[in-house]
A and B are shown apart, each in its own frame.
Chain A
Amino acid sequence: MADQAMATRKAPLDGLRGGSPAATVIPAAPASRVALRASAEAVSALSAALGVTLPVRPKSSASTGKRHVLWLGPDEWLVIDEDGADLMSAAASSNALHSAVDVSHRNTAVIVSGPGAEVAINSGCPQDLSLAVFPVGACSRTTFGKAEIVLFRAAEDTFRVEFWRSFSPFVFGLLSEGAVDAAH
């Protein structure tokens, strides 16, 4: 191996930018991600190990710095670390019964930001994204056109949209069209 250069990483939406004055659609930086599954009794140990209190309310999330834990189901979380930290080891250190699977490369994400972000996402997403129903910090797995996404509201006008990498052109394309329409 010594004579080989280390393989370089190539994200599916490298270099793309989309959107409109109402909402920008920009690929998120690479992050580490873990699909975390555990029953209720493991929650506190996993929270301590990950340094974030695992949310147990539907549609809610918790963050510490650049690490976010998104409630996806009653025994399921998506853990995202924007700094790329080793989440698998962190989870393993909990010694609690759980399933952690590295999905850092399965998922990719875009950031939709601007006053028209809600409308842009509602071009293909059937959920009510008004602040009263989908407040800052809310998250949900849902559909976006013919793709499945995980939606996370990072700020009033900013959403992180996570999806499987091969759906990148579709999700990016539809979000961009939605963002253009949101400008009207």
Chain B
Amino acid sequence: MSGVNRISGAGRLTPARTARFTFDGRTLKALEGDTVASALLANDIHLVGRSFKYHRPRGILSAGAEEPNALLDVSRDAARRQPNVRATVQEVFDGMKVASQNRWPSLSFDIGGFNDLLSPFFAAGFYYKTFMWPKAAWHKIYEPFIRRAAGLGVTPTEPDPDHYASRYVHCDVLVVGAGVSGLAAALAAAKAGAKVILCDEQGEVGGALHHDIGTVIDGKPGYDWAQQTGRALAAMANVTLLTRTTAFGYYNHNFVALVERVTDHLAAVDKTLPRERLWQVRARKVILANGSIERHMVFANNDRPGIMLASAGRTYLNHFGVAVGKRVGIYTAHDSAYEAAFDLKRAGVAVPVVVDCRQKPGEAVLEEARNLGIEVLTGHSVVNTSGKLRVASISVARNGGGGQRKIAVDALLVSAGWTPSVHLFSQSRGKVKFDAATERFLPGIYAQECLSVGACNGTDDLQSTIDEALAAGELAARAAGAEGGTQITLTGRNAFEWTGGMIGAAEGAGADKTVKAFIDFQHDVCAKDIRLAVREGMHSIEHIKRFTTNGMASDQGKLSNMHGLAIAAEALGKEIPAVGLTTFRQPYTPVTFGTIVNHSRGSLFDPARKTPMHAWEEAQGAEFEDVGNWKRAWFYPMAGETMHEAVARECKTVREVAGVFDASTLGKIEVVGPDAAKFLNLMYTNAWDNLKPGRCRYGIMLRDDGFIYDDGVVGRIAEDRFHVTTTTGGAPRVLHHMEDYLQTEFPHLKVWLTSTTEQWAVIAVQGPKAREIIAPLVEGIDLSNEAFPHMSVAEGRICGVPTRLFRMSFTGELGFEVNVPADYGQAVWEAIWARAEPMGACAYGTETMHVLRAEKGYIIVGQDTDGTVTPDDAGLSWAVSKKKPDFVGIRGLKRPDLVRDGRKQLVGLLTKDPKVVLEEGAQIVADPNEPKPMTMLGHVTSAYWSPNCGRSIAMALVAGGRARLGQTLYVPMADRTIAVEVSDMVFFDKEGGRLHG
């Protein structure tokens, strides 16, 4: 027998198919198909955890996703361990290890339990008051204490070895929930020819039919009908049936996120299977068939292990064949719980009493109770319970007072009625309405293309549910364009009509401030806490929720929200709709990070963009730096070299011999069309009409507010064709910016833009020997100074392949940028290197590039500018045309603040001590002795050791900087103040003769 509470012949599991698992180290037997909860209950284990705040013993409350108590640590192996798993959802597999949480040293003896005795200190909102003073104690005492005492499971420390998948999928009709209404709706939609996705969070279809054995559909027991229907649906080509799949988020425009738990129930896992799969569904129509969630009764000490929802008691008995006790009491305000009593009684379990707080339960259930000889106490309440680690007895009293009767039980099934699950409807931004007659919120005004059917829509009667679902299924299919099919009809009946239900505190909750009548089990919120919140001045349910934390645990108040609201409304003396309902948020139930991240891990987290020469650079031992998504060669250390030494060597070599640099990541845009020059006139501050084909020009691009947006060299390839370069990081946004103006402001221009960033591999060869290096490789281009001066471009061939060759320089040296089609990049680089290396040239990286350009005072947009710098601020007013009638930024440049005196201007800084290198970002002041707050004049934008100048150099934005040339300013640092002299920005080869070498 797989557990002492397993009843022979009861339930739907196969006794021969067993699985072994451990709970807190103890090996237990389960049946295939068991949840952890059913398996523990089969082994007579009710106590599974300690509560969050008071560390009270807690048991299993439900049999579904709404479970607030039975959160366990479940592991397959050391790395595959997950805390806070709901025992009622997790299926058992052979070899699984389960551990209780939030207890020390053991589950049955927990030190934290003394919190329960100290509970007067832990009243609602205690953390707002108790731990306020002294301030210093917060970090050292209060917070560590609370963190240790509270909280749930412990996060695993090893990396998650599993993988996760994701799929986008489209359908005509998405049906959420595969109970009676979901199955019927899906069937109708599928028969009409629609493409249907039907999902259900449980391991198999059926929903409430798992426990409600009184239902007959289509002449069959409801459960059997569900399984048959599920199989029929799964076999249809136009239907995707997803079990163990929770629709956890309903987003804009019928975008619904589902998580499918693929392997968590399997003992042996195929490694190619993802652990979970995220389905990102776009549905034309959504049918919500979420069902309803049973509420517990709110009374004193209603949280003892053994006290659970009546429907859960039925599920464990009717589906899993497990009796939750030997003497099971019932406490209810709703007829449905009577059926639990009937089922248990028929299974041979003692049911000593049904306590019903109503005067008039349904006649049919009363009669059946009489027939079965079950004592029913109407107009009575359970006013207290006893039992240390499990309920042992209940105290029952007539409503309005009178003597108490103590009745021994080892389990108590409770029901306050059913709450329609409007979570997804609410997530869809639909507005709920309160139905006063049945005291429940129901879907009111729809915001998206969805329909609610069945219990979540407040439809109680089975035949009405079926009819409503069939109609909705067909309607949705037709609305989505399905034209096929057959109309179907189904009949169904229940054993009993159900009446009743209550929200809020029952008699047994008392007005007494010390009574613990729990509303929210996971956050230990009691009825008295809600009342306290109201007394403390909270009037909105949103404030009450945050003050008490009611409904803020991981179960999001699936059981507690309505009770809390009713108690608040009563305390406020208001109607429930006037107190308001909190909005339900995604996710419906907790979702793993793995599912959200899915494929985006490791090398697929972000594209790592590599240039065509990357492999060569790697083989040379280059260090790389990230620039956007690009991996750029940073420097090439030789054996034993530090970064500083490598960069110093590269800097000297480039200026003394030559260097080869991978500039492929520069953004490139081909601007083609008869109006190309006109368009560039508008996009750049410079004039382009007079640029002749074969020549290049440095251009500055502004936004309309007048600030520098990007810069780069533009070459005119032909009258109607320009080769524009952008900064590496700026390529996509510059193209977007240009497209924006072209399409929406200047659509009359005949010009088109094409990104060619990746078409060309770019090899910069810079230095006195640059020409000598490449000349023998180049065909069809005269490289002489006369034919091909600085800022020229020509098309020809290099190493036998086409090239666009630029004579340009970002180093201040004689330089070329060899553009070749990207697939040839590595071969041409190797050919250049084969000539460069014997001459003593080096390969250099971005760090050396930065130093060399700083030695020349060339700015880097985004480093020396920050989106508030004008061309004049940067000393580039020479590049702004004074003649053009318009360009983007022309008006912005005239704004009063952009032309005022004293703006920050880019200048050079020379430290008085030439060995000191400033820190980029450091602030600059005029008077180092000024009391704080000091007047900050600006900041350092670039600072390097310059091997070619033999000293440190820096660039800085300084208020009125150009008027301060020669002045001494100060850079206060944490440990010292550095004196600097303001200089111009050209630190090397001030005459610029080397460019033309």
Contact yes or no, A101 B670, CB < 8 A: yes
**Closest residue on chain B to residue A181 by CB atoms:** B165
B360: interface (CB < 8 Å): no
B604: interface (CB < 8 Å): yes
Interface string of A159-180 (1 = CB under 8 A from B): 0000011110110011001101
B603: interface (CB < 8 Å): yes
Minimum CB–CB distance from A98 to chain B (whole Å) comes to 8
Minimum CB–CB distance from A107 to chain B (whole Å) comes to 8
With most chain B CB atoms within 10 A of its CB, the pick from A7, A20, A146 is A7
Contact yes or no, A103 B754, CB < 8 A: yes
B394: interface (CB < 8 Å): no
Contact yes or no, A169 B831, CB < 8 A: no
Residues of A within 8 A of B607 (CB): 146-147, 166-167, 169-170
Give the CA-CA distance A105 to B820 in the complex, in Å. 10
Known: A4-B799, A165-B822, A181-B274. A170 touches B608 (CB 8 A): yes
B823: interface (CB < 8 Å): yes
B23: interface (CB < 8 Å): no
B691: interface (CB < 8 Å): no
Residues of A within 8 A of B272 (CB): 20, 180, 183-184
Residues of B within 8 A of A178 (CB): 165, 599
Minimum CB–CB distance from A64 to chain B (whole Å) comes to 23
Q: Is the interface of B mostly helix, strand, loop or mixed?
A: mixed
CB within 8 Å of B: which A115-160 residues: 119, 122-128, 130, 133, 145-147
Known: A106-B758, A177-B165. A7 touches B801 (CB 8 A): yes
A37: interface (CB < 8 Å): yes
Contact yes or no, B755 A122, CB < 8 A: no
**Closest residue on chain B to residue A38 by CB atoms:** B752
Residues of A within 8 A of B611 (CB): 166
Q: Contacting A1 at CB < 8 Å: which of B274, B603, B797?
A: B797
Contact yes or no, A103 B756, CB < 8 A: yes
Known: A1-B779, A166-B630. A145 touches B599 (CB 8 A): yes
Which of B80-88, B166-174, B204-212 binds A? B166-174
Residues of A within 8 A of B826 (CB): 10
**Closest residue on chain B to residue A127 by CB atoms:** B168
Give the CA-CA distance A105 to B825 in the complex, in Å. 10
CB within 8 Å of A: which B802-838 residues: 820-828, 831
**Closest residue on chain B to residue A126 by CB atoms:** B168
Known: A101-B756, A146-B607. A8 touches B827 (CB 8 A): yes
**Closest residue on chain A to residue B796 by CB atoms:** A1
Give the CA-CA distance A133 to B170 in the complex, in Å. 10
Give the CA-CA distance A146 to B754 in the complex, in Å. 20
With most chain B CB atoms within 10 A of its CB, the pick from A1, A147, A184 is A1
Known: A4-B799, A7-B831, A169-B608. A181 touches B167 (CB 8 A): yes
A89: interface (CB < 8 Å): no
A6: interface (CB < 8 Å): yes
Contact yes or no, A122 B759, CB < 8 A: no
With most chain B CB atoms within 10 A of its CB, the pick from A5, A10, A75, A127 is A10
Give the CA-CA distance A169 to B387 in the complex, in Å. 62
Contact yes or no, B759 A173, CB < 8 A: no
Contact yes or no, B758 A99, CB < 8 A: no
Contact yes or no, B799 A101, CB < 8 A: no
Interface string of B255-289 (1 = CB under 8 A from A): 00000001000000000111001001010000000
Q: Contacting A99 at CB < 8 Å: which of B274, B612, B672, B831?
A: B672
Contact yes or no, B759 A105, CB < 8 A: yes
What total of chain B residues lie within 8 Å of the partner, measured CB to CB?
60
Contact yes or no, B168 A6, CB < 8 A: no
B992: interface (CB < 8 Å): no
B535: interface (CB < 8 Å): no
B968: interface (CB < 8 Å): no
Contact yes or no, A9 B824, CB < 8 A: yes
Known: A7-B831, A99-B672, A169-B607. A106 touches B756 (CB 8 A): yes
B79: interface (CB < 8 Å): no
Minimum CB–CB distance from B94 to chain A (whole Å) comes to 22
Give the CA-CA distance A88 to B195 in the complex, in Å. 45
Contact yes or no, B599 A6, CB < 8 A: no
Q: Contacting A97 at CB < 8 Å: which of B168, B262, B750, B755?
A: B750
A35: interface (CB < 8 Å): yes
Minimum CB–CB distance from B483 to chain A (whole Å) comes to 13
Q: Is the interface of A mostly helix, strand, loop or mixed?
A: loop
Contact yes or no, B800 A6, CB < 8 A: yes
Minimum CB–CB distance from B819 to chain A (whole Å) comes to 11
A104: interface (CB < 8 Å): yes
**Closest residue on chain B to residue A11 by CB atoms:** B823
Contact yes or no, B166 A123, CB < 8 A: yes
Contact yes or no, A106 B755, CB < 8 A: yes
Give the CA-CA distance A124 to B168 in the complex, in Å. 7
B120: interface (CB < 8 Å): no
Residues of A within 8 A of B757 (CB): 106, 164
Residues of A within 8 A of B163 (CB): 177
CB within 8 Å of A: which B769-800 residues: 776-779, 797-800
A30: interface (CB < 8 Å): yes
A82: interface (CB < 8 Å): no
Residues of B within 8 A of A147 (CB): 607
Known: A101-B672, A106-B758, A165-B822. A37 touches B277 (CB 8 A): no
Give the CA-CA distance A6 to B757 in the complex, in Å. 24
B512: interface (CB < 8 Å): no
Residues of B within 8 A of A7 (CB): 798-801, 820, 824, 827-828, 831
Residues of B within 8 A of A30 (CB): 823
Q: Contacting B758 at CB < 8 Å: which of A105, A124, A174, A177?
A: A105
Minimum CB–CB distance from B742 to chain A (whole Å) comes to 11
Q: Contacting A170 at CB < 8 Å: which of B165, B168, B604, B754?
A: B604
Contact yes or no, B610 A166, CB < 8 A: yes
Contact yes or no, B280 A126, CB < 8 A: yes
Q: Contacting A166 at CB < 8 Å: which of B170, B280, B599, B609?
A: B609
Q: Contacting A106 at CB < 8 Å: which of B759, B800, B825?
A: B759
Contact yes or no, B170 A1, CB < 8 A: no
Known: A174-B599, A177-B599, A184-B272. A123 touches B167 (CB 8 A): yes
Give the CA-CA distance A145 to B391 in the complex, in Å. 53
Known: A7-B827, A128-B282, A164-B758. A122 touches B168 (CB 8 A): yes
Interface string of B543-585 (1 = CB under 8 A from A): 0000000000000000000000000000000000000000000
B348: interface (CB < 8 Å): no
B867: interface (CB < 8 Å): no
B975: interface (CB < 8 Å): no
Give the CA-CA distance A128 to B875 in the complex, in Å. 52
**Closest residue on chain B to residue A39 by CB atoms:** B750
Residues of B within 8 A of A9 (CB): 823-824, 827
Give the CA-CA distance A97 to B673 in the complex, in Å. 8
Taking A101-B756, A105-B759, A122-B169 as known contacts, 4 extra A-B pairs with beta carbons closer than 8 A to each other, sorted by chain A number, are: A10-B612, A10-B825, A37-B672, A105-B822
5 A–B pairs (Cβ distance < 8 Å), ordered by A: A1-B799, A99-B752, A106-B757, A177-B163, A181-B165
Which 5 A-B pairs rank lowest in CB-CB distance, beginning with the nearest?
A6-B800, A7-B827, A166-B609, A37-B752, A99-B752
